[in-house]
């Protein structure tokens, strides 16, 4: 997980222009949401619900930009995939789940404190970055429900259905110490919210943290499912196991998952292919030497028998 974080930072460093534009876009979206909510007196609970609903689409957009930063020729192809019907339906299902869960929790909290909080300014957005904070708050839940690799799988595996993508993402999370991954995501999520609260920078801090979390999801997908050593920081050992485990273990388990779903097998590294066949040269070797040893002396006249000396 820490290696994925270093690789994510390295990928952002290699393409500051792309990610800078994405951060600016998210910051503008935050400003529009805050101004709209304040102008129409929309309570914070509804803005938080909208933020949870928007999270899957934001993560897919970040994954598309990350693919373009990783492979320049794939920039437009990845962006087009964001609008694909299957990908949108998969993101929509997760967005509804996160929004419903968030609305339920906030309703309970606000319901218990309604007598004290009703009509107070705290129920409305006050500062830039609060809408993106609502988006960021759903990352942990989405990682638990569908796994970190779900949105990159939706985007970069067009033949895969949302159900298959979720199954593969959860399986990959299980193989790669899922509890540790979820725990670190929680720590990063809380750190991002704390940093944004300390240095709001008109919402730019939260936008940067949100982009970094999306790039982290892409790097995890690329490492586990594609063995993309190029996402690793310089000096990383290319002989390391893919996703924290030997390639044969992670890829064979995930390929079995894909084969049972009826989809084409996922791409694996050549090193992940296990062959138990002996070399052809060994199987087709000549028996001349053994025959000569076995028949030695039988062509002599008269034939010579091997006798035991006394």
Q: How many CB atoms lie within 10 A of CB 99?
A: 20
Per-residue model confidence (pLDDT) at position 110: 65
Which regions in the chain score pLDDT beneath 70? 1, 110-126, 228-310
| CB neighbourhood size of 287 (10 A) | 8
For 181, the token pair is 């991954």
pLDDT of residue 111: 61
pLDDT of residue 53: 93
What is the rounded CA–CA span in Å between residue 196 and residue 208?
A: 9
Q: So what's the pLDDT on residue 126?
A: 65
Q: What is the pTM of this model?
A: 0.71
Position 292 scores a pLDDT of 45
pLDDT at 180: 85
pLDDT of residue 205: 87
Confidence (pLDDT) at 83 = 92
């Amino acid at each position: 997980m820490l290696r994925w974080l270093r690789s994510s930072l390295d990928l952002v460093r290699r393409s500051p222009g792309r990610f800078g534009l994405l951060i600016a876009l998210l910051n503008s979206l935050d400003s529009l949401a805050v101004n709209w909510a304040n102008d129409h007196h929309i309570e914070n609970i509804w803005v938080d619900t909208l933020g949870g609903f928007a999270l899957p689409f934001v993560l897919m957009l970040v994954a598309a930009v990350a693919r373009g930063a990783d492979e320049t020729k794939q920039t437009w192809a990845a962006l087009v995939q964001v609008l694909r019907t299957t990908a949108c339906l998969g993101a929509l299902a997760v967005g509804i789940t996160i929004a419903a869960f968030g609305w339920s929790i906030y309703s309970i909290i606000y319901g218990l404190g309604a007598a004290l909080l009703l009509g107070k300014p705290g129920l409305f957005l006050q500062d830039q970055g609060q809408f993106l904070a609502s988006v960021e708050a759903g990352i942990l839940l989405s990682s638990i429900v569908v796994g970190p690799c779900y949105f990159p799988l939706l985007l970069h595996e067009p033949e895969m259905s949302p159900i298959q993508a979720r199954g593969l993402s959860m399986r990959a999370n299980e193989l790669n110490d899922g509890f540790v991954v979820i725990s670190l995501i929680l720590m990063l999520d809380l750190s991002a919210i704390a940093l944004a609260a300390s240095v709001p920078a008109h919402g730019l801090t939260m936008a940067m943290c949100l982009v970094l979390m999306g790039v982290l999801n892409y790097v995890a997908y690329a490492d586990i499912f594609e063995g993309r050593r190029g996402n690793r920081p310089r000096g990383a050992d290319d002989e390391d196991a893919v996703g924290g485990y030997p390639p044969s273990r992670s890829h064979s388990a995930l390929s079995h998952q894909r084969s049972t779903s009826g989809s084409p097998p996922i791409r694996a590294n050549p090193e992940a292919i296990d062959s138990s066949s002996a070399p052809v040269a060994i199987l087709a070797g000549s028996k001349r030497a053994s025959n000569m040893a076995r028949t030695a002396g039988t062509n002599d006249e008269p034939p010579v028998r091997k006798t035991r000396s006394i």
